[in-house]
Amino acid sequence: MKRVILMLAMVVLGGCMSRNAVDTKEADIVIKNGTVLTMNGEREVISEGVVVVKGNRIVEVGGADLAKEYSTKEVVDADGGIIMPGMINTHTHVSMTVFRSLADDVPDRLTRYIFPLENMMVSKEMSYLGALHGSIEMAKGGVTTMVDMYLYEESAAEAVKEIGLRGIMTQNIIKYPTADGKDGAAKIELAKEFIEKYRNDELITPGFGPHAPHTVTKEDLEIIRDLSKEYNLPVSMHVAETQKEFDKFKAEYGMTPVEYLDSIGLLNERFIAAHSIFVTDSDIELMKKRDVGVAHNMVANIKSAKGVSPALKMHDEGLRVGLGTDGPMSGNTLDIIGQMGYVAKVHKLANKDRSVMPPLKVVEMATIGGARAIHREDELGSLEKGKLADVVIVETKSANMVPIYNPYSALVYSANASNVDTVIVNGRVVVRGKELITYDERKSREMMKEFSERVEKIAETL
């Protein structure tokens, strides 16, 4: 009899336990009390929304009641802020933070300062330090994924991973001798070593970064084309950035830079074209047909007075267009919020039509557009069930954010990077209450100060 009662008790208890497990589902992070810009297919906006994270994935997105369905390790109260997908910086050279603000607007800056300084000062340590510092800036500005290209890219990748960001890190390949190799072949070898180490990494996707059509030999471009196919890894490259480059290819090959790259077979779904300012209508058609991604770097392009890329036309014609900052010597800042206002305003001005670039379109480019540009829209760029948990909260309490009648408008025209309050990458909180929690920011600042004093001494002699 006693035994039966005990068994009955166990059955009842067991029943209760399994019912509980159904009633409250388990989560790691529940984000609540904010306006959720899902950026899903319907561009759904949920006021008083909730985003549920388990492990490194988003498991559910919905209204306020959703929070009650979960028992969670951590609740993040958005405090009325804007909850949005992590922003994607589709083109940068993060390690160059060490040279930021040096000789801005000097006409022969590239040959007088950048190349000599890079030859004298670039090392694995410099690549790491610059990337560490730049990643801190990006994290605190709401960038969760970057596409990078630089020398000693493996060292930059180490830093990006240490801060906790996602990176498509492409080893720079250029025909000239640089600190990390005497020619293109040496740098292709570096890329292969880096790829072997990082190809299965959760946050870092290694790849190839041929510098530009005119700075890499055709033979090296062919090797890169084959290797990128063999490894199924991305290629990022500056394309049609200057009038000079466009004219050179027309004169030498009777082709535009885009047509030249296509004749080699480089343009495909693994290719991310940075800039693409000097492109013809038929180039745009070709880029769409080849399904390439485009990194639109508005601020860097207007700072250097190069021109306005037809990125709006590309976006409207269905190309995969994301936003990029370019390196911190070109655009100085590395956050994407700082790009958005310029993207809206300059395209409107260039078209003399204020209706061509509504804020929603700009936020699309910063999030799901960036994910499409890197062909990762299945797992990044929007807040949807099953996607990777890269989430940003932008606070709406600072004076510049009050009042808000339209959240997209507030992000594009009112916000700045310092409004970013919380950043989650791959399900891990990287920034909380505007503070980086994955690294001691003071330490990186001190290292940067010491390095920049050395840069300054050398720059005085150039």
In whole angstroms, how close is the CB of 461 to Zn ion at the nearest point? 26
Shortest Å, Cβ 194 to Zn ion:
19
- Distance between CA atoms of residues 50 and 229, nearest Å: 40
CB nearer to Zn ion: pick between 178 and 438 = 178
CA dist 10 → 5, 19, 22, 23, 44 (Å): 9, 14, 18, 20, 46
One-letter amino acid of 290: R
Decide whether 51 or 147 has the Cβ nearer to Zn ion: 147
- Nearest residue to 117 via CA among 95, 133, 136, 92: 95
Spatial CB neighbours of 340, under 8 Å, sequence gap ≥ 6: 323, 359, 362, 363, 366, 411, 412
What is the distance between the alpha carbons of residues 49 and 47, in angstroms, rounded to a whole number?
5
Q: Which is nearer to Zn ion, 331 or 407 (CB)?
A: 331
Q: Which residue's CB is nearer to Zn ion, number 373 or number 388?
A: 373
Residues 59 to 88 in contact with Zn ion, rule: CB under 5 A: none
Task: Report which DSSP code applies to 178.
Answer: B
Assign residue 232 a region (left: φ > 0; alpha: ψ between -120 and 50; beta: otherwise): left
| Residue among 60 and 326 whose Cβ is closer to Zn ion | 326
Of residues 72 and 236, the one with the C-beta less far from Zn ion: 236
Report the residue number, 326 or 395, with the smaller CB distance to Zn ion.
326
- The CB-side HSE value for 352 (13 A sphere, CA atoms) comes to 0
Q: How far is the CB of 237 from Zn ion (least distance, A)?
A: 9
Minimum gap (Å) between residue 327 Cβ and Zn ion: 5
Compute the least distance from the CB of residue 295 to Zn ion, in Å.
8
| Angle 100-103-109 from CA coordinates, rounded to 5° | 105
Residues 6+ positions from 354 with CB-CB distance below 8 Å: 348
Q: Which of 128, 141, 37, 122 lies closest to 367 in space, CA to CA?
A: 37
Q: Name the minimum Å distance from CB 234 to Zn ion.
A: 15
Q: Which is nearer to Zn ion, 38 or 90 (CB)?
A: 90
Residues 230-249 interacting with Zn ion (rule: CB under 5 A): none
Question: 259: part of which helix (H) or strand (E)?
Answer: helix 257-264
Name the minimum Å distance from CB 202 to Zn ion: 26
| Rounded Cα distance, 457 and 461, in Å | 7
CB atoms within 10 A of CB 112: 14
Q: Given the complex with Zn ion, which of 220 and 326 has the nearer CB atom?
A: 326
Encoded one letter per residue, x for contact with Zn ion by CB under 5 A and - for no contact, window 303-342 reads: -----------------------x----------------
Q: Which amino acid is at 245?
A: E
CA distances from 82 to 39, 79, 261, 325 (A): 12, 9, 41, 22
Name the residue nearer to Zn ion (CB basis): 28 or 326. 326
Type of residue numbered 342:
Y
State which residue has the least CB distance to Zn ion: 326
User: What is the closest distance, in whole angstroms, from the C-beta atom of residue 172 to Zn ion in the complex?
Assistant: 10
Give the neighbor-by-neighbor strand order of the sheet with 235-239: 87-92, 143-150, 166-173, 204-210, 235-239, 271-275, 293-296, 320-323
**Smallest separation (angstroms) from Zn ion to the CB of 365:** 17
Per-residue contact flags (x/-) with Zn ion for residues 31 to 50, judged by CB under 5 A = --------------------
Name which of 419, 442, 420, 440 is nearest 431 in CA terms.
420
CB of 37 vs Zn ion, minimal distance in Å: 28
Read off the DSSP letter of residue 181.
Answer: B
- If phi > 0 it is left, if psi is from -120 to 50 it is alpha, else beta; for residue 216 that is beta
We find the least distance from the C-beta atom of residue 91 to Zn ion, in angstroms, to be 6
Does 364 bind Zn ion (CB under 5 A)? Our answer is: no
Q: Is-contact 336 87, C-beta < 8 A?
A: yes
- Give the pair of three-digit tokens for residue 50: 């909730």
Give the number of residues in contact with Zn ion, rule: CB under 5 A: 1
Nearer to Zn ion, 283 or 326 (CB): 326
Beta carbon of residue 168, minimum distance to Zn ion (angstroms, whole number): 14
> How many residues are present in the chain?
462
Nearer to Zn ion by Cβ, of 326 and 384: the residue is 326
Given the rule CB under 5 A, which residues bind Zn ion? Answer: 326
